[in-house]
Structure 1
Amino acid sequence: MDKKYDFQKSEKQFTQFWEENEIYKYRQGKERPVYSIDTPPPTVSGKLHIGHVFSYTQAEIIARFKRMQGYDVFYPLGFDDNGLPTERLVERDRKIRAGQLPRSQFRNVCVETIEKYENDFTDLFKKLGFSVDWELSYQTVSSLSQKISQRSFLNLVKMKKAYRKESPVLWCTQCQTSIAQAELETRDLESSFYYLNFKTSMGDLLIATTRPELLYGCVCVFVHPEDERYRKFIGKTARVPLYDFEIPIMADEMVSMEKGTGAVMCATFGDTADVSWYQTHHLPYKKIILPDGTISGEVPYIGGLEISQARRTIVEELKTRDLLVKQEAVSHSVAVHERCGSAVEIIPSNQWYIDVLSEKDRFLKAVDEISWHPAYMKKRYQIWVENLKWDWCISRQRYFGVPFPVWYCKDCKEPVFAEEDQLPVNPMEEMPRKSCSCGCRQFLPEEAVFDTWATSSVTPFINAGYGEDYDRSSEILPMGMRNQAHEIIRTWAFYTIVKSLYHTGEIPWKDIMISGFVLAKPGEKISKSKNNGSESPLALIEIHSADAIRYWAASNKLGTDTFFSEDEMKVSRRFLTKLYNAAKFAVLQLGDYKKKEEFNQEMLLPIDRWMLERVIETTGVVKALLDEFEIGQARHEIDELFWKDFCDYYIEIVKERLYQPQKHGVKERYSGQYALYHSLLGILELYAVYTPFITEYIYQDFYRSHEKKLSIHQMVWDRKDANKDYLEFGDQVKELIGAVRREKTEKQLSMKDEIPEVIITSPKRFREFFKDTQLDIQACTGAKKIILRS
């Protein structure tokens, strides 16, 4: 082994070595059982940051673990590179607007841009030592992904689970597209309650609103049926201030008697309550807000103005006419689009939906068929499904995405769907192969594209090649694991479950592993859109090594958020230095070691046997923890074994026996060599899932000439039960040595100083063990004499 470990040289060398020798290649389950992983395709919306490294590395550790349990691991990594997030990236990078270019030209610009980013993503993941089979990679914008997405849609149409209708829809005026409920975030914003008197035959009815610009859109006033203050108003009419037209006053239990004045105006549309009242009470629709975020030109006083400007203008008009009773500052929650942060409006629009509301019970039942890690994340899914209010809107008024395989008859307006063998199809460039049922042969293409989640929700099917000639669904579905962050439980997890249940009747995966965030500051996650991840992962790798970053990424309990500081790398580097030095010591003592067929563990000295049993015991504990995806706790167990038992105790105990065979005996030295060889190898196998580069280096430098496997990452962990007698004996030896060390420290003696004697009180069953370990104890404690007592 080199005097000092050169991680930059090793990491480059072994990345190439693994690729050339196809160490991580998926082999279709021909020799081993398959374990398949549904890895989140990173969204191509900016540069990857330390938060991605944190969550993706945790999942990669599980991939390595499963491979070392004897599985043929199906481990792809794709790229989510279609839809609004990618469009916004291209617009930022190229300083253009999507609508300013012809669709085909803008698409070409997108393809050029994503290629650069995806190459960067791949480079980072390779530098991190990801054991991905890169031949399994995919893009959600590829022809295959488009084909499978369109096939999914057509099947849902046949099942009457996908439908088109004109209705109020969540709309982002900034991105100028419809969005789904799952894409909403809430923000507390400072605003005002504006108090206005609505004139009635029973007197003034005071109403408080935060949206005075919607006054012209008022269609009703609602009060609670049990509110004594307003019972006399029910069934009467009120005149809208400023505009002076009449609207009915009605009762509805949805009204909060405590909020505002307890009387509320219903306008089309201010919020989801307005939508509910509009649909329940069959109210008329009045157009106020347009898709571009301006006020309809037919609205007096404010027509053509942008929403916030319209609000200021209408307030001034109300003040001028002495119609504003009072204005009161208020902080309230506003729904915003998660992608751009703009306040979301509700406008009527013709959109495509997937029915989820009618099957909520089915989706809630599915949650119990999947194992959630950590278990409490399951509740987040349940709460989301229970509170769903909208079907899933899957159409987006954007440019770079997967097209709907739909045209509309020019005469009767009915949709005409593509044939299966036409897929993937772009209706803007091709025409249906058949005439409409009405006989017309002229068609208008659907211009909307799929919501990006409508494509990424079929990642298990993309991985399986669902419906293709090579369909491997029976090999990999349901997949073994899905890993993802907790903020997309309501989108990626939910939508994938929906699609899987609809298409196969089965859950998409058996386990779901939910990672936490890396926070830039309290309450703010590091994200591509906010560009608040100051440390470049590539720079961190260059300075500290991939293994150091991976070791840090495995430090937390699953699902918990963490902060990142470069100071964290000191712990990682100290560990890597310790592992290298311990291995270097071992290799120096194993220079003349050769495996002897006639030698077995029964010939080992008890303390050597203890060390091997500790490795077996830890392997079992770590396996159980990693089976539950608790990579942080599992790493802690390996650290305890390595730092304390192996380095602090065993090496110190066995050191003199290895150095001085003339004093301890040749067979006794070989016993120590055997234990050192196998215990270090066992420790390296455990750490291999966390720090693949340095463990491969040590394996190749020494163990490769003794072992059959080409790489340490092809090794399979032992599955044995540890011998409790040897474990208990080892604990007693550690307790004894620890007591001697403490006494020397208290008496300010050097650890190398001799002491007259050590008296050992031992149970009879360990008496022979202590006899066989007497010389080692003397050497380790500096005792001139050992006295054994029962």
Structure 2
Amino acid sequence: MEKRYDFQKHEKETQEFWEREGIYRFSPDAPGRVYSIDTPPPTVSGSLHIGHLFSYAQAEMIARFHRMQGENVYYPFGFDDNGLPTERLVEREKKLRARDLPHADFTELCRETASRYEADFRQLFQSLGFSVDWDLQYETASPETQRLSQKLFLELARQGKAYCREAPVLWCTECRTSIAQAELDTRETDSVFYTLPFSCGETVLPVATTRPELLFGCVCLFIHPENPQYGEFIGQTAAVPLYGFEIPILADEKADPEKGTGIVMCATFGDSTDAQWVLEHGLPTRGVLQKDGRMGEDVPYLSGLRVKQARKEIIRLLEEAGLLLSAEPVIHTVAVHERCGTEVEILPSRQWYIDVLSQKERYRQAADEIVWHPAQMKDRYLSWVENLKWDWCISRQRYYGVPFPVWYCRNCGRPVFASQDSLPVNPVEQPYEGTCACGCTEFLPESAVLDTWATSSVTPLLHKSRGLPEYPLSMRTHAHEIIRTWTFYSIVRSLYHTGKLPWKHLMISGFVLAKRGEKISKSKGNGLEPTSLIREHSADALRLWAANARLGTDTFFSPADLQPEKRFLTKLWNAARFALPLLEDFSPLPASPPLLSADRWILARADEALRSAAFQLSNYEAGQARHEIDRFFWNDFCDTYIELAKERLYSAERQGTDARRAAQYALYHAFFTVLKLYAPFAPHITETIYLEFFRKFEPEPSLHLTRWPQTGEPEEQLLLFGERLKENLSTMRREKTEKGVSLRAEMGCFPIHAEEKLHPLFKEAESDLLSCSHAESLKLLPL
């Protein structure tokens, strides 16, 4: 073997070997129980960063573990390449606006850009050694996925679970599209509580608002029914300051007497409470704000102004008219669109929805029917379900996405739907041929596209449609920030379309943080580029780093964190360079020779490491498994067993052929176990060592197709013997170091402290202990 491990050479060769031999190709007819993984298709919205590597690598280790348990692993990969994120990427890169180009030209730019990024994404995941069957790759904008998305939409529409209505909707004036509740973030901002005088007869009613620019849209004042100060005005009317028109004063318990002045202005629409009030009390709507973020043409004084300009102007006018009672600075929490950070408005608009509010109890039950890893992530999901206020708006007023297979009758406005055998269809390009129930034969196409979550949420159903033999899938993996979107929406879709949950287990990873409280993300531009890190430090080093964190916990990253992992790779390579030459004249195929106590102990310890790591990985704790394996490799195998067995391995003439063969047998099987244990974490170096030596004795073409052996009950006495071995050797080494002598220095008697029941095992290991300690004799003492 080469003196130094050349990771750049061996990682490339190993990846080419896996691809050439089809090591990770899935076949539904292969033996073993199917273990299926629903992997998040990364959004084509910019380059991937170290945070993606962290999350995806943790799940990939689980895939490798299950494959080495003899399971038939279904591990596809996809790319989420339609919708607003891809549009915004193209707009940034090309320095243009989608609305300034012909529709066809812009969508073609999106396709070209998505294809280029997907090639880069795939190359990155391949360079990380992901054991993916790339023949199963999918894209959310592909004809296959479009067909399925449209088919499932039509199914919901027929059942009345997807519906269209004109209603208040969350709206981003920057992206110029409706959005869903799950796409909101919140931000604290400096604002002002303006108190304005509404007139009720001769009485002035002070009303505080942070949105004075919506004064023309005011349709009602609300007072708590038990408000002692203003309750008497309920049922009367009030004049809106500056504009003068009358509005009713109504009672509602949501009007908090302790907030502001205790009288609340309902404008259409200042916030979600306004929208709720309009619905509950049957109030009219008075449009103020347009979809481009400007005030409407019919709004006196403010026509055409943007929100902040309009706010400034209305305050100037109110002050001039003596109609501003006070202005108090406040820190105000506002809802913003997660994609662009723009403050979200609520506007009346016709949109398509999927009913979720009526099924909240079923979604709560779903949480208990899925196994969450880690368990506390279930609370985030339940909190989201509990706080749902809106049905899921699935239509977007954008350009690049999966079209709704819908047209509208020009005469009566009734929607008509595409036939299933015509899918996928684009109504903007393909006219509807048929007759409406009203007799009209002219139809207008739906120009909106499906929300990107409405397409990515069907990935479990996509796998099912491809003939996956088992449903639900075994596991889904993703980071914790999309529990409210991808987890929730996929549960909604699967329950509606199959009556079953989409998966049995959820593996939820944490974030990589750039600094305390700030996650690494594309939008923040603070991510480290993984390709250069792989080129400089190796894929295995990055994977090993990703395995260190406890599942679901956030972690920090610095390139300096890779140094311990690189030292480990050197240690493993050097262990192979020590072990494999000593095994050149050994074959593991004949029956086991008589083993000494140290040999039996290291094999028992290898079994224990397998048991412990398998338990942790079965519970999706790759980090905990890695720590267990490290203890076995560093403390037991390298620091203890190799030092004990060295003389037997090197000197058959002194210890005898049988003793040497026993040590070779233990060395072969213990080191083979080391490779199997590290295979999920460092697949390249372990495969390289396997192909270098073990492949000539083992039937499987790849280490990653070998099995972790089934272990029996722990051999407690041998394991206790090993602990005492390590303790006594550690004491001996410490005493030599304290005396300032070499560890190879001769010594007289080596006192061994151990339980008397272990003395026969120490007696059996006497030659190993004497050679290791360079002692003249042993003295067994009770512990």
Cα displacement (A) at 1:226? 1.5
The residue identity in structure 2 corresponding to 1:652 is: E
Alignment correspondent of 1:134: 134
| Cross-structure match for 2:48 | 48
Aligned to 2:488: 494
Partner-residue secondary structure (3-state), 2:305: coil
SS at match of 1:730: helix
How far the C-alpha of 1:164 sits from its partner, in A, is 0.4
Cα distance between partner residues in 1 of 2:245 and 2:685: 78
Amino acid in the other structure paired with 2:525:
N
Rounded Cα–Cα distance in structure 1 between residues aligned with 2:629 and 2:753: 30
Calculate the aligned-residue CA RMSD, in Å: 1.2
Q: Are 2:637 and 1:642 aligned? A: no
**Map of 1:520 onto structure 2:** 514
Look up the equivalent residue of 1:290 and give its one-letter code. Q
Task: For 2:434 and 2:761, locate their aligned partners in 1 and report how far apart those are by CA, in whole Å.
Answer: 87
For the Cα contact (< 8 Å) 1:760–1:786, is it kept in 2?
A: yes
- Corresponding residue SS for 1:198: strand
Residue 539 (structure 1) aligns with = 532
Against the structure 1 CA distance between its residues 75 and 494, is the aligned structure 2 distance closer, same or farther, given a 3 Å change threshold? same
Q: 1-side partners of 2:408 and 2:606: how far apart?
A: 67
Q: Distance in 1 between matches of 2:379 and 2:759?
A: 54
1:713 to 704, 708, 716: 704
Q: Secondary structure at the match of 1:770?
A: helix
What SS does the aligned partner of 1:567 have? helix
Query: What SS does structure 2 have at the residue aligned with 1:287?
Result: coil
- The 2-side partners of 1:433 and 1:561 are apart by 54
Q: Contact 1:76–1:136 at 8 Å: present in 2 too?
A: yes
Q: Alpha carbons of 1:708 and 1:93: their partners in 2 closer, same or farther (altered >3 Å)?
A: same
- Once the two structures are TM-superposed, the CA of residue 596 in structure 1 deviates from its matched residue by 4.7
Name whichever of 536-545 and 221-230 sits farther off.
Answer: 221-230
Distance 2:766 2:56 in 1: 49
Per-residue deviation at 1:313?
Answer: 0.8
Q: Distance in 2 between matches of 1:564 and 1:762?
A: 44
Partner in structure 2 of residue 485 of structure 1 = 479
Which residue in the other structure is 1:552 paired with? 545
1:508 matched to 2:502: yes
Equivalent residue number for residue 201 of structure 2: 201
Does the aligned pair in 2 maintain the 1:82–1:400 contact within 8 Å?
A: yes
TM-score, L = length of structure 1: 0.97
Match for 1:614: what amino acid?
R
Aligned to 1:341: 341
Which 10-residue stretch deviates more, 764-773 or 706-715?
Answer: 764-773
Contact 1:202 1:233 in 2 (8 A): no
Name the CA distance, whole Å, in 1 between partners of 2:76 and 2:380.
27
- Structure 1: distance between partners of 2:470 and 2:315: 61
SS at match of 1:476: coil
Decide whether aligned partners of structure 1 residues 516 and 660 sit closer, same or farther in structure 2, where only a CA change above 3 A counts.
Answer: same
Could you say which residue in structure 2 is the equivalent of 1:575? 568
Contact 1:606 1:773 in 2 (8 A): yes
- Of the three residues 609, 617, 620, the one matched with 2:611 is 620
Q: 1:740-751 alignment to 2 at 5 Å? A: 740-751=732-743
CA distance in 2 between counterparts of 1:195 and 1:299 reads 21
Partner of 1:787: 779
**How does 1:147-546 map onto structure 2 within 5 Å?**
147-201=147-201, 203-464=203-464, 466=465, 471-473=466-468, 475-533=469-527, 535-546=528-539
Query: Secondary structure of the equivalent of 1:324?
Result: coil
Q: What is the number of residues matched between the two proteins?
A: 781
Partner of residue 766, structure 1: 758
Out of 728, 733, 737, the residue aligned to residue 736 of structure 1 is 728
Tell which deviates more after alignment, 224-233 or 681-690. Answer: 224-233
Unmatched segments (≥5 aa) in structure 2: none
Aligned partners of 2:592 and 2:665 also within 8 Å: no
Q: Which amino acid aligns with 2:579?
A: A
**Residue in 2 aligned with 1:593?**
586
Q: SS state of the match for residue 138, structure 2? A: coil
Instruction: Please state how far the C-alpha of 1:390 moved relative to its aligned partner.
Output: 0.3
Q: Give 1:509's aligned amino acid.
A: W
Shift of 1:225: 1.4
CA displacement at 1:95 relative to structure 2: 1.7
d(CA) in 2 for partners of 1:66, 1:159: 39
Separation (CA, whole Å) in 1 of partners of 2:698 and 2:85: 49
Letter in 1 for 2:467: R
CA distance in 2, matches of 1:595, 1:194: 85
Give the deviation of 1:239 after TM superposition.
1.4
The one-letter code sitting in structure 2 at the alignment partner of 1:604 is L
What CA deviation, in whole Å up to 9, does each residue of 1:254-273 have, x standing for no partner? Answer: 01222111111110000011
* Secondary structure class of the residue paired with 1:40: coil
1:605 aligned onto 2:596:
yes
Q: How does 1:30-45 map to 2 (within 5 A)?
A: 30-45=30-45
Residues 520 and 598 from structure 1, CA distance in 2 versus in 1: closer, same or farther, beyond 3 angstroms? closer
Q: CA deviation at 1:209?
A: 0.8
- Take 1:731 and 1:754, find their aligned partners in 2: how far apart are those partners? 24
Q: Spell out, residue by residue over 1:54-97, the C-alpha distance to the aligned partner (whole angstroms, 9 max, x if none).
A: 00101111111111111111101100000000000011111221
In the TM superposition, what is the alpha-carbon distance from 1:460 to its structure 2 partner? Answer: 1.0
Displacement after TM superposition at 1:703 (Å): 1.1
Structure 2 CA distance for partners of 1:785 and 1:424, relative to 1, 3 Å: same
**Offset of residue 735 of structure 1:** 1.5
2:728/2:753 contact within 8 Å kept? no
Residue identity matched to 2:540: D
State whether residues 457 and 496 of structure 1, in contact with CA within 8 Å, keep that contact through their aligned partners in structure 2.
Answer: yes
Q: TM-score, normalised by structure 2?
A: 0.98
Aligned-partner Cα distance in 1 for 2:291–2:623: 48
CA distance in 1, matches of 2:247, 2:434: 49
Per-residue CA deviation, residues 405-442 of structure 1 (Å, 9 max, x unaligned), is: 11111112111111110111111111334322222221
Comparing 393-402 and 512-521, the one that deviates more: 512-521
Q: Which residue identity does 1:735 align to in structure 2?
A: E
Q: Is the 8 A contact 1:372 1:378 kept in 2?
A: yes
2-structure distance, mates of 1:640, 1:348: 62
What residue in structure 1 maps to residue 719 of structure 2? 727
Alpha carbons 2:724, 2:753 under 8 Å: kept: no
- Residues 1:29 and 1:558: Cα distance change in structure 2 (over 3 Å): farther
1:741 and 1:751 in contact (8 A); partners too: yes
The one-character-per-residue Cα deviations of 1:723-768 (angstroms, maximum 9, x if unpaired) are: 2221111111112112212222333332112221023354443332
1: CA distance, partners of 2:110 / 2:239:
52
Q: Secondary structure of 2:699's match?
A: coil
| Structure 1: gaps spanning 5 or more residues | none
Specify whether residues 789 and 518 from structure 1 end up closer, same or farther in structure 2 by C-alpha distance, changes over 3 A only: closer
1:632 pairs with one of 623, 628, 640 = 623
Q: Which moved more, 1:704-713 or 1:754-763?
A: 754-763
**In the TM superposition, what whole-angstrom CA distance separates every residue of 1:356-408 from its partner, at most 9, and x where no partner exists?**
00011111111111100000000100010011000000000000000001111
Identity of aligned residues (%): 56
Residue deviations 1:144-163, cap 9 Å, x none? 00000001101111111000
CA distance in 2: counterparts of 1:740 and 1:227, whole angstroms: 82
**Paired amino acid for 2:355:** D
Task: Return the letter of the residue paired with 1:756.
Answer: G
The whole-number CA distance in structure 1 between the counterparts of 2:730 and 2:781 is 19
**Contact 1:45/1:529, CA 8 A, preserved across alignment:** no
